[in-house]
Structure 1
Amino acid sequence: MTNGINRRQFGLMAGALAASTALSGTVARAAPSGRVVVGTWGGDYQNLQQQFIVDTLMKDSGINVVFDTANDTVRKTKMLAERRLPRGSMDIACLTGQGAYEMNQNGLLEELDETKVPNMKNVPAVFRNNYSVPHIYTGRVILYNPKFVKTPPTSYADLWDPQYAGKIGVIDIQYQTTIESAAMISGGALDNYEPGKEKLLELKKQGVKIYPTNEAMAQALKTEECVMCIMWNARGYMWKKAGIPVEIAVPKEGLVLYISEMCVPKNAQNKEAAYAYLNAMMEQGPQTAFAESMGYAPTNSTVKLDPELAKLVDYTEEQRKSLMVQKMDYLAKNDAALQDWWNKSFKG
C-alpha cells in the first residue's frame, strides 16, 4: 500500500506554498503547526488515522495530533456545552451526516474553506456541503444468505416476499433507514416516509424479527435465524470477511448514502492545523486503508483501489448515477414522530 504523499513531501509542499505566496507579492502564511485535537470514534477508525496519517503523512510536520475518543453523541453534547467559549476543546469533530447537519444548524461549525483542503476539488458534488469534509462513504444495500435466497434480490420489495416470512430482520436503532427504505417502494420519497409505515406493518404481519443492534443482526445472520436484511455495504463487507454467510445486492431503488464527515468547530483553537489534517485524510494512503480494513469507499475521486477491492466496497459508474443523500431537514423535523411510530405501532 502506498500513501499519496510521504511526510517529507508534506513538509516540502507546505514550504513551497509559503514560498510561492511570498514570491507572488502577497503575505506568506506559516506552515500549520502545533497541537490539533481530533474528536473521533475509537477502534479501527482511530487506529487507521494513527497509522496512515499521524505516523506517516504528519510525522515531523510540526503538528501534534491528540485524539479525543468517544461516540458522536458525546461530541455533539460537548460542542453544544462549549458553544459560548472562545476556545473549544476540539479542532476537528468526526460526525455522521445527520450529526454534522445538526451542529451546523446550531451555528457551531466553521464554513469550509476549500482552498485549505486542496483534495476537496476531487470530491463529487453529491458528497458536498459547505460545513464538512466528507471522509468516506458507503451505500445502503441488501444482505442475503445465498443458501436460502437462491435468486439475488434486486429491490427492497424482495424482503416482503412471502417465501421469506419469519426470516427477515430489521434493526431497532436503524428505524429511520428502515422506514425510509419501505417508503421508497410504496410511493414515498426521501422527504416523505409516510407510505413506508403501512408497508412495514405488512412486514410485521409476516413475522419480521427486530434486533436491537448491528451486532445482534450479525449474529442472527451467522446462525441463519435471519436470511435477509437491509444494511450498509461496509458492514456487509466486514461481516463477510468475518465468515458470516452473506452476499451484497444493490437495490434498484438506488443507493442512499452513509457519509462519515469531519468538521471544524467555530471555536477550534488551531484551525490551520485542522485543515491540514482534513486534507491528509483525503490522500490515497488513508482512503485506501479505510476501504481495505472497514469497507468504506473513498470520497476522493482520484483515489484508485485495487479492482477486486473496488468491486466489494465501491460502485460502478452506472450505480453512481443513483447515489442519494438523506434529506437532513426532513429528518430533523420528523425524527421524534418517526421514532414514536416505530416504538408504538411497529414494535408494539
Structure 2
Amino acid sequence: MEDDRLSIYGSPFLAAKLSRRTVIKAGVAAGAVVAAGGLTWVERALAAPKGTLNLFTWEGYAPAPLVKKFEAETGYKVNVGFYPSNGELISKLKATKATGFDLVQPSVTLIPAAMDSDLYQPIDPKRISNFKNVIPSMVEASAQLGGMIKGKRYGLPFDWGTEGISYNTKKIATRPTSFGDVHKDEYAGRTTYRATFHVFVATGLSMGLGNRMRDIYITEEKAKPILDKVLAFLISKKKNVKTYWKTAQEIETLLTTEEVWIAETWDGTGWKLDRAGQPIKFVAPKEGALTWMDGFALPKGAKNLDAAYAWINFMYDPKNAAMFTKESAYFTAVEKAADNLEAGIKKQYSESFSPADIKNLWWYGIEHSWWLDMFAKYVDKLKAA
C-alpha cells in the first residue's frame, strides 16, 4: 500500500508532471494594504525595527498561533501583510523597488515574471538547516517551474494545492463533476468564481478547447481565437454569477451564508469549511484540478535576511508544517509533516482526490510578463461586459 506521506504530498506523481509547464495563475490587482494607524502596510514595514520580519504573503499563510510560536522561539517580531493575487504582489514590489519586504511567497511560476524586473535576490538553501525536510521532488519541481533562473535559485517550495469546485451539499444533491457545472443556469445567482485567468483556463477545459488549453501558450496569435471563445461563453453566463470573489475570507463567507451554492475555489477553502462543520465539499473536476505551488522568495531590497531565513527554517520544521496545514487546510512541501496530521485531514484529501484525479492534475507553468499583459486584457473585458 502506498505510503500516506506520498499519497498526500505527491512525491510519486509530481516529478512526472514537471514538463507540463504552461498556464497562468495571476489576477492583476492594485491598491494599498492599509494597516493600523492609517499607514499602509509598506510604510509600516519600512519603519519597522531591525529585529522585525516583514512578511508579505497570502491570506492564511501566517496563522496567528504559528506567528506567536515563531516570535517566542526566535525573538523576532513579525509584521504581516497580505496580497490577494500574484499580480498585486508584483505590482507592490515594482512600486517600492522591492524594498520594505523581507520575505514574500509567490507562486513559483510567477518568479520569472518578477525577475523580468529584477525584483528578487538569490536564496541560499545552505542557510536553512531544515531544508533537508523538504520533499526532493518538490525541490526539483520548484526549480523547473520557475524557481531556478540561469543557474541561480530564486524560489524555494512552500506548499501546493489545487483549484476545483466547492459546493453546498444541502443545496446541490448531485456531486458536481465538471468546471462547466459552475456555469449551469439552474444555479443562477448562486455561483461565483474569481475574475482572474483561472476561470478562463477552467472554462476552456470544460469546453474542450485548445488541445486541453495547451495551445494558448504557443503564441498570442494562437491563443486569441481560443480565449475569444471562452470570453464569449463567460459573458453569456455572467448573469448567473452572484459576485466575483477576491479573498479567502470573502469566499468562505459567501459559502457559509449560502449566498452561493457552488464556486470555483481552492481545495483548502472547501476542506476548511467542511472541518468547521459546514455542508461544504471540495471536488476535483474531471477536466483536472488546476494545480499550483507557492514558495519563498527574497525581495531584492530585503534588509532583515536573518529573520527571513529564520521563518523559512521554522516553517520547514515538520511539526510547524503540520500546524500550518491544520490551520490553513493547505499541504506543505515538508515530507514528514504528514506524520503529524490528524486522520480527518487525510480523509478529506482521499474524498476529494482519487488516484485517477491525482494523475489528471493540471499544473500551472512558468509565466512571463507578456503573458500577464495579455491575460489582464481578457480579464478586463470580462469585468467590463
TM-score normalised by length of structure 1 = 0.72
Give, as a single letter, the amino acid of the residue that structure 2 aligns with 1:236.
Answer: G
Shift of 1:285: 1.6
What is the aligned partner in structure 1 of residue 173 from structure 2?
150
Percent of pairs identical after alignment?
18
Q: Does the residue aligned with 1:289 lie in a helix, a strand or coil?
A: helix
Aligned partner (choices 364, 367, 380) of residue 325 of structure 1:
364
Residue 334 (1) aligns with residue 355 (2): no
Measure, in 1, the Cα distance between the counterparts of 2:184 and 2:93: 45
Aligned pairs for 1:1-348 (under 5 A) are 35=51, 37-41=53-57, 45-55=62-72, 59=73, 64-72=75-83, 76=90, 79-81=93-95, 83=97, 88-97=99-108, 100-117=111-128, 118-119=131-132, 120=134, 122-124=136-138, 125-128=140-143, 129-130=147-148, 131-162=154-185, 164-171=186-193, 173-186=194-207, 187-188=209-210, 189=213, 191=217, 192=223, 194=227, 195-204=229-238, 207-214=240-247, 215-271=249-305, 274-304=308-338, 305-313=341-349, 318-321=356-359, 322-329=361-368, 331-345=371-385
Measure, in 2, the Cα distance between the counterparts of 1:121 and 1:324: 18
Task: Return closer, same or farther for 1:318/1:337 CA change in 2, 3 Å cut-off.
Answer: same
Q: Does the residue aligned with 1:70 lie in a helix, a strand or coil?
A: strand
Post-superposition CA distance 1:154-186 (Å, at most 9, x none): 221223445x24154124x54322222111222
Q: Does the residue aligned with 2:345 lie in a helix, a strand or coil?
A: helix
Which fold has the larger relative contact order, with Cα–Cα distance below 8 Å and residues 6 or more apart in sequence?
2
Measure, in 2, the Cα distance between the counterparts of 1:245 and 1:227: 10
Shift of 1:140: 0.4
Q: Does the residue aligned with 2:120 lie in a helix, a strand or coil?
A: coil
Task: Return closer, same or farther for 1:102/1:257 CA change in 2, 3 Å cut-off.
Answer: same
- 2:106/2:294 contact within 8 Å kept: yes
Give, as a single letter, the amino acid of the residue that structure 2 aligns with 1:169.
Answer: T
Give, as a single letter, the amino acid of the residue that structure 1 aligns with 2:384.
Answer: K
Task: Return closer, same or farther for 1:77/1:166 CA change in 2, 3 Å cut-off.
Answer: closer
Post-superposition CA distance 1:56-99 (Å, at most 9, x none): xxx2xxx5423232223886566435549xxx443322345576
Specify every segment of 5 or more residues in structure 2 that has no aligned partner in the other structure, as ranges. 1-49, 149-153, 218-222
Measure, in 2, the Cα distance between the counterparts of 1:219 and 1:89: 32
Aligned residue pair count: 300
Measure, in 1, the Cα distance between the counterparts of 2:174 and 2:303: 55
Measure, in 2, the Cα distance between the counterparts of 1:303 and 1:246: 25
Moved more, 195-204 or 117-126: 117-126
Specify every segment of 5 or more residues in structure 1 that has no aligned partner in the other structure, as ranges. 1-33
Q: Does the residue aligned with 2:76 lie in a helix, a strand or coil?
A: strand
